[in-house]
Each structure stands twice: as structure tokens, then as C-alpha cells.
Chain A
Amino acid sequence: MTSEPAAGNCLVANDWICGAYLRSRGPELTDATLQHVWITVLSVAIGVAVALPLALLVRARPRFAAPVLGLTTLLYTIPSLAMFSLLLPLFGLSAALVVTGLVLYSLTILVRNTLAGLQAVPEEAREAARGMGYGPLRLLWEVELPLALPALMAGVRIATVSTVALTTVGALVGKGGLGNLIDEGLQTTFKAQVLTASLLCVLLAAVADVLLLGLQRLLTPWTRARSDRAGGAAL
């Protein structure tokens, strides 16, 4: 609506969509995106590394099921802002604080899905492997985990998409990846920055989801033929 568009300078006009912003702040956007990606990847990776032993523990000793599942569900109830704040005395203003909070959130879905995947492994498959002389570790690694993989990966996808969105709240302690740009853009009422960072965030979640789906297909080639047929039938 400004009468003088200043030779098309959308930065001056504070437009929502602004090519000049993308060109002039490229490095800043890249840095924020990279921070967002590594915080997310690290959080989900640690989440999987913690969830797997917990799921195995619950499966081996069912009396731990109620406390473990109850506690991880309870953690999910805690507001993200509160979670990050409660960790402040332990970690100070650091990325470790954000990663720890995100790991705790991811456990809810990861433990549940890993456990469901492990419990869905057919007893016959286990028996057959034992009959072939597989020890417990080899049984887990070569039979149970591959069969549990679709459920586990479904959990990883949900956890990753949620974590990408939640990472923005890390802006509270200045470690929120694209959330930092959103926060800064809001303080300075810089529309292009807030919109660009928000859209990048959603894009990041979508790309992560597609990549993980591809990874799942690669890791479980035996399900491909079946799901292709099912997909064809559904059409």
C-alpha cells in the first residue's frame, strides 16, 4: 500500500514475501536451518537410543510396563516452555537443554511404538530362529528388530515431525534454530523473516517425513511388494 515502493524494495516496505530478504540473509537462514536440523536429528537419535532399551526392558519384565509407559506419557503432558525452563538450573542457556527436553518428549511415542513393534514379532519367527541356533543378541538384531522396524519407523517419523515443530520453542534460550529467526523477526516486526522461517520449518518437517519414509522402504524391502499391491488395490 506504500505510495513509493523504493524501487521495489520489499525490505523497506516490510512485505510478507520478499526475495531481497532471501538474497541478503541467505547465510543467516542457512545457519538457523542447520541448527534446527542438528538439534532435531540429535534429539530423535538419542530418543531412539533411550527408547529401545526401555522397550526391551518392558518386554522382558512386564511389571515395568505401567511405570515406564506412565512416566513417558506424563512427560508429554508437561508444557514445552515449562520443560525447557525446569531444565534451566541443570543445563543453563545451552543447546543441551533444548535437546534434553526434546528427547524426553520423543520418548512417549518412541517407547510405545518400539514396544508395539517388538510385541508384534510372530512367536514362530522367534522359535524358528532359536531352532537355528540364534543367541538372544543375534535374535534381536537379525530377526526381531527388522520385523519391528515398520512400527519403530512409524514412531520415528511422528517423533521427528513433532520435534521439528517443537524445536522452535528453543528460541526461549536462543537455541531454537529457525525459531530464533521467528523470535527475532517478531521483536523487530520483520514480516518476511517470520514468514520465511515459519515456512522453512514446515518444509523441513515435510522433507524429514519423506526421507524417513524412503529410509524405511530401503530398510524393509520385503514389505514393498506387499504394500505396493495393497496400494494398487486401494486405488
Chain B
Amino acid sequence: MGVLTDVWTWLTTASHWSGEGGAWQRLVEHLYVSGASLLLACAVALPLALWLGHIGRGGALAVTLANAGRAIPVFAVLALFMLTPLRSAGYWPTVLALVLFAVPPLLTNAYTGMREVDRSVVEAARGMGMSGGQLFLRVELPLAYPLLMTGIRSAAVQVVATATIASMVGQGGLGRIITAGFATYDTPQVVAGALLAALLALLVEGVLVAADRLLSPLRRPAAAGR
């Protein structure tokens, strides 16, 4: 178990955390890039998915996109971006690759959420004379909310996890600790960086699950009943 001791030593050495390229800086980079990507992806995917779900069209598109998205390696997209003039555009190659990665599942989940809304409820709302806008805001959106949030949560966790791959093309984030360790054959550093990246992803998942429990209007009664 020599490696574990070395990993612990790496993690508890202050100089590994501070300064340029230290773990804190990498962590901030990681969160900044993930957050920006997720916001952009939501801004693109959610309005489109909600609109398509409202008018009830584009189901095939949503499913096809999700399937195609799974087949595209983020590493390849990043590598291609780094060979274009984008490479000198700071964090943009990573952000764009992550947006491309996150949009398909966000779109599919939000669309599914809208379509899973009980049709008889929608019909009843129409019968009560609700306009399209009222129907969307007061019936469809609240009922689709749990699935919508589940989709955003899983996208957030996957974005945080996938952002580590950016380091393989020389971009920032926690993955850099890992790739730097590989470059210098420093196994304790590799494992320490991997632990930090894995813990961050698990932490984000945990925080979002907790936030979802606290904030969701529809889940509260169910949680209280347990």
C-alpha cells in the first residue's frame, strides 16, 4: 500500500495546492469551464426542447440527436478544435466541446419530460380555455419539472466529469494534475489528481440531488410520506 501513503503525502503537501498550476487554480478552472458550458448548453437546448415538446413535434430529432451524441468522442472533438485557430481562444475549445456533448442529452430529457405530461390533463386545461402560453407555464412546465431537473442534473455531472478530458489536449482543469503526473511518471500525483476529479464529480452529484430534494415542489409530499 505504498502508493496510498505517497498519494496522501502528495495531497497534504501545501505547495501542490497553491500558486500557478496548483490544485486550487485547477479546481477553479474546472468549475468555471464546467459551469459556463452547462449554462450555454441549457440556453441552447432547453428553449428548443420545451418549444418542441409544447407543439409536440421533433421527437425523432430528439432521439436521433441523443444517439448520435453518444457516438462522438469528446477527446476527438477537442483534438480537432485544437488544430483550428480556436486553440488560441483560451477556454473556448473546451467550452464548445462540452456544449456539444451536453446539448443532446439535455434536449432529449427536456423533450421527454414535456411529452410525458399526462395528455388528459393537457386536454382538460385546453377545455378550460387556457391559451397556449398559459397551458405551457401553468400545466406543462410544472408537470415536466421533475424530469427536466433530472436531465439537467445528469448533464451537470457528466460535464464536470468530462471536463477532465480537456487536459489531454493541454487545456486547463483538474485533469491537468493527472496528465502532468503521467508526463513525469509520477504515479502518486496521477492517483491524487484522479481522486480529486472523481471526488468533485461525486460531490456535484450529491449537492444537486440534495438541491433537487429541497427545491422540487412535487417531490416534497412524497419525501415527507417516507
Contact = CB atoms under 8 A, between A and B. Distances in A.
A182 B202 contact: no
B interface bracket (residues with beta carbon within 8 Å of A): 35 or more
A202 B72 contact: yes
B117 interface: no
Contacts of B164: 79-82
B168 A81 contact: yes
Given A191-B83, A195-B80, A169 B168 contact: yes
B198 A169 contact: no
A201 B73 contact: yes
A206 B70 CA distance: 10
Interface in A121-165: 158, 161-162, 164-165
Given A80-B161, A172-B182, A191-B83, A166 B201 contact: no
Contacts of A81: 164-165, 167-168, 175, 178-179, 194, 197
B67 interface: yes
Interface string A189-202: 10100110110011
Interface of A: 74, 77-83, 85-86, 88-89, 158, 161-162, 164-166, 168-169, 171-173, 179, 182-183, 185-186, 189, 191, 194-195, 197-198, 201-202, 205-206, 209
22 contacts: A78-B198, A79-B162, A79-B165, A79-B201, A80-B162, A80-B164, A81-B165, A81-B175, A82-B161, A82-B194, A85-B190, A86-B191, A86-B195, A165-B73, A172-B168, A172-B182, A182-B75, A186-B169, A189-B83, A191-B83, A201-B76, A205-B70
Given A81-B167, A168-B76, A172-B168, 4 more contacts: A79-B162, A82-B197, A182-B79, A194-B83
